[in-house]
């Protein structure tokens, strides 16, 4: 089951996000304060981000975060799949595919593009995304942290 995060899911989210940011799927961990700020934003009704909890057999089985931006190139709103994390014990049960189907159904006609990032070495995730119709963009991403 996939549902939006609720305020009472705070500790579950923080634990799952901490696990994700200490896994090989990410480049570096983020401070707990960032996770706490993200959770607060997601459950506040923000127009910029929404969080989801995955459940299997009544137990937390992962989470996802989406965010929105406008893109002239895409001709409208872009839905960024910021994070999908499914602990090892729950992988291979179709939760990732279920979430991607959910997003496509829920936001069909409301967004111009779906976009995500993935580490090249995360072969399982890459296969899932390709199977679901995603393809690689030849962009180099650049960032500037807070100054």
Report the distance separating Cα 100 and Cα 84, nearest Å.
10
In contact, 112 and 74? CB cutoff 8 Å: yes
Please tell me the pTM assigned to this model.
0.91
Q: Does residue 41 have a pLDDT over 80?
A: yes
Q: What is the pLDDT of residues 70-86, one digit of tens each?
A: 999 999 999 999 999 99
Q: Domains in the chain and their CATH numbers?
A: 2-131 (3.40.630.30)
Name the DSSP class of 140. P
49: confidence class by pLDDT, cuts 50, 70, 90: very high
Mean per-residue pLDDT, 31-49: 97
Q: Does residue 52 have a pLDDT over 90?
A: yes
DSSP alpha helix (H) spans, the chain? 10-20, 32-42, 95-107, 123-131
Mean per-residue pLDDT, 16-31: 90
Q: Does residue 147 have a pLDDT over 80?
A: no
Positive or negative, the CA dihedral 112, 98, 93, 4 is: positive
**Res 38: pLDDT:** 98
Q: Which of 77, 72, 132 is nearest to 110 (CA)?
A: 77
Task: Identify each DSSP E strand in 24-129 by its residue range.
Answer: 49-56, 59-71, 76-85, 113-116
For β-strands 76-85 and 113-116, DSSP reports them as parallel
Q: What is the pLDDT of residues 81-111, one digit of tens each?
A: 999 999 999 999 999 999 999 999 999 999 9
Q: Does residue 43 have a pLDDT over 80?
A: yes
**Res 144: pLDDT:** 87
């Amino acid at each position: 089951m996939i549902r939006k995060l609720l305020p009472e899911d705070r500790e579950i989210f923080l634990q799952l996000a901490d696990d994700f940011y200490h896994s090989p799927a990410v480049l570096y961990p983020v401070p707990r304060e960032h996770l706490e700020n993200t959770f607060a934003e997601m459950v506040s009704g923000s127009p910029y981000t929404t969080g989801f909890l995955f459940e299997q057999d009544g137990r937390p089985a992962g989470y996802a975060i989406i965010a929105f931006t406008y893109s002239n190139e895409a001709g409208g709103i872009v839905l960024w799949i910021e994070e999908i994390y499914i602990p090892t014990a729950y992988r291979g049960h179709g939760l990732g595919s279920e979430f991607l189907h959910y997003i496509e159904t829920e936001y069909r006609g409301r967004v111009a593009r779906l976009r995500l990032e993935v580490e090249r070495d995360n072969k399982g995730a890459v296969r899932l995304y390709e199977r679901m119709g995603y393809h690689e963009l030849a962009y180099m991403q650049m960032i500037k942290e807070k100054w």
